Amino acid sequence: MNPFDYRRAEDAAGAAAMVADNPAAAFLGGGTNLVDHMKLGVAAPEVLVDITHLPMDEVEALPEGGVRIGANVRNSDLAAHPLIRRRYPVLSQALLSGASGQLRNLATTAGNLLQRTRCVYFQDTSTPCNKREPGTGCSALEGYQRYHAILGASPDCVAVHPSDMAVALTALDAQVVVQDAATERRVPIARLHRLPGEAPEHDTVLNHGDLITAVELPDMPMAVHARYRKVRDRASFAFALVSVAAAMSLGADGSVSDVRIALGGVAHKPWRALRAEEALRDGPATEERFAAAARAELAEARPLPGNTFKVALARSAITATLRQVHAEARGGDGHGGPGGHGEEQR
């Protein structure tokens, strides 16, 4: 690990200015991802700006009915918060399915959103990686591919975004509050993360020095019945092969009046399943239509030789999750609750 300077900011704008003024500076929150990368040699910041003491650690109801989550709220605290468990259980489920209890106790909301890929080649500095070192190539194209993208990838990068929380927030239409040295703005979470294109080194649309200060959730009645399903290689402390966050509301005749679906483990960013949503709206809520919507979403999947199984896995996961949220929306037994049931935690 390289030597670095440590500084503490007085406020969010001051923190943003400190980092913006130095291309080799970085924010320090929970540090669960950054410190790992510093040890591995993936990241070598010259200055760390500590933001953990800034007043961004509250979860509060908004006057218009939504909820504001401070950037420094720890993942464990957010998952356990009564407002989140009651109104947005999909977010609690996603958080509890990620990492370990110790890591969730330290990791922050903003840090979770900004964590970098766990592609083995990105984390191995002895291998070529366009994300870590632009222009060197993508080792995964001819290497280990089980966890890599089947949607939205490019010849320059096939890595996936690792966050469970970000998938749930994408299904919830969250807004990310961003502070730079002078102004505050909001970025829809669906636009926060990028597809790799020819510049996979850029994970998000944020500029250097932009500081996430909060995440805001809209008032969304159907979120009460939203659920998160994660399919992985072992029951805990494993990243998703495929994950699904979904919410559904039904009309008086039982048809799908509205729906939100987001996927994890399949792309460089949390993947909003817009084709599947469009296929379901204003039609009957049947198993056949759930399966057809899943097929429509995966129609343009381009798997690698080592992860072709993920296409069928994603279709099955979407269908099963829609079946569950439909049962919840009808008032049936969807095996709900913030922790979900066994299938959600696979």
**pLDDT tens, residue by residue, 198-248:** 999 999 999 999 999 999 999 999 999 999 999 999 998 999 999 999 999
What is the signed CA dihedral for 152, 119, 144, 140, rounded to 10 degrees? Answer: 60
Tell me if residue 77 falls in helix, strand or coil: helix
> Given this model, what pLDDT does residue 340 score?
43
Q: Distance between CA atoms of 298 and 266, rounded to whole angstroms?
A: 10
Domains identified in the chain and CATH numbers: 223-329 (3.30.390.50)
Compute the average pLDDT of residues 149-169.
Answer: 98
Residue 278 in tokens: 């469009």
Beta bridge partners, 212, equal 178
- pLDDT, averaged across the chain: 95
* Separation of alpha carbons 263 and 167, rounded Å: 6
Full DSSP string of 93-136: HHHHTSS-HHHHHH-BHHHHHHPPP--TTTS-TTS-BTTTSTTS
Q: What is the mean pLDDT of residues 152-179?
A: 98
- pLDDT of 346 above 80: no
Q: Whats the size of the chain, residue-wise?
A: 346
The string of pLDDT tens digits covering residues 97-145 is 999 999 999 999 999 999 999 999 999 999 999 999 999 999 999 999 9
pLDDT score of 1: 80
- Taking the C-alpha atoms of residue 103 and residue 90, their distance in angstroms, rounded to an integer, is 20
Global pTM value:
0.95
Strands, sheet with 227-231, edge to edge from the N-terminal-most edge strand = 227-231, 242-250, 256-264, 271-272
pLDDT at residue number 331: 86
Q: 69-86 b/e with 16+ CB inside 10 Å = b?
A: bbbbbbbbbbbebeebbe
Read off the pLDDT of each residue in 147-167 and give the average, rounded to a whole number: 98
The two tokens of residue 126 are 């002895």
Token code pair at residue 132: 């870590």
Strand partners, 263: 244, 271
The pLDDT tens digits of the residues spanning 256-283 come to: 999 999 999 999 999 999 999 999 999 9
